[in-house]
Amino acid sequence: MNPTLLDRLLAISALFKRNEHRSLKGTSLTAARIQVMQTLFHGGPSSQQALARTMGITPRSISSLIDGLVESGYAIRAADPHDRRAVLVTLTPMAHQEMRERQLAHAEVSRELVRAIAPEDRAAFDRGLNAVFRKYDEIVRRG
């Protein structure tokens, strides 16, 4: 029996996870901490509550993740200048550098993956991949 599209996507996902695990080896970072850093890198400073909502995790979980980022020098907590009751989480310069390096690495892997597709097939592949993403997002949101 041939693998289904979902089988292949799951296999690719497993490869991505294995590669990410390898890239984090020897650091204080985890996949979950990287996800928090990506959210802050792209969205800017945020309250822990907003981060928890954005990431779909509990406030207790986000607090633990941020504790780890603060302890390892990737984030700081500071008073929100607009709301003295709130605390903002901000990435440190070290975290910004880490995220820029990860973006460069992702761009290189992306270029390498695209080179595996015949040039005349790339536009169709991109349209198909976007369609699969939109449909799967719809399925997940439906629950």
Cβ atoms < 10 Å from Cβ of 33 = 21
Residue whose pair of structure tokens reads 């309250």 in the numeric block: 47
> Does residue 78 register a pLDDT over 90?
yes
DSSP string of 84-134?
EEEEEEEE-HHHHHHHHHHHHHHHHHHHHHHHTS-GGGHHHHHHHHHHHHH
Residue 85's pLDDT band, with cuts at 50, 70 and 90, is confident
Q: What is the mean pLDDT of residues 73-90?
A: 92
Residues 87/77, Cβ–Cβ less than 8 Å: yes
Question: How far apart, in whole angstroms, are the C-alpha atoms of residue 71 and residue 46?
Answer: 18
Residue-level pLDDT at 84: 82
If DSSP codes are grouped into helix, strand and coil, which group holds residue 45? coil
Q: What is the pLDDT of residues 92-121, one digit of tens each?
A: 999 999 999 999 999 999 999 999 999 999
Residue-level pLDDT at 40: 98
Residue-level pLDDT at 32: 95
Is the overall model pTM greater than 0.85, yes or no? no
Q: What is the mean pLDDT of residues 2-17?
A: 94
Residue-level pLDDT at 80: 87
Burial of 142 (0-12, 13-18, 19+ CB in 10 A): exposed
Q: Give me the amino acid identity at 35.
A: Q
Question: How far apart, in whole angstroms, are the C-alpha atoms of residue 57 and residue 112?
Answer: 33
Q: Give me the amino acid identity at 33.
A: R
Q: What is the pLDDT of residues 19-42, one digit of tens each?
A: 999 999 999 999 999 999 999 999
Which of 38, 37, 40 lies closest to 50, judged by CA? 40
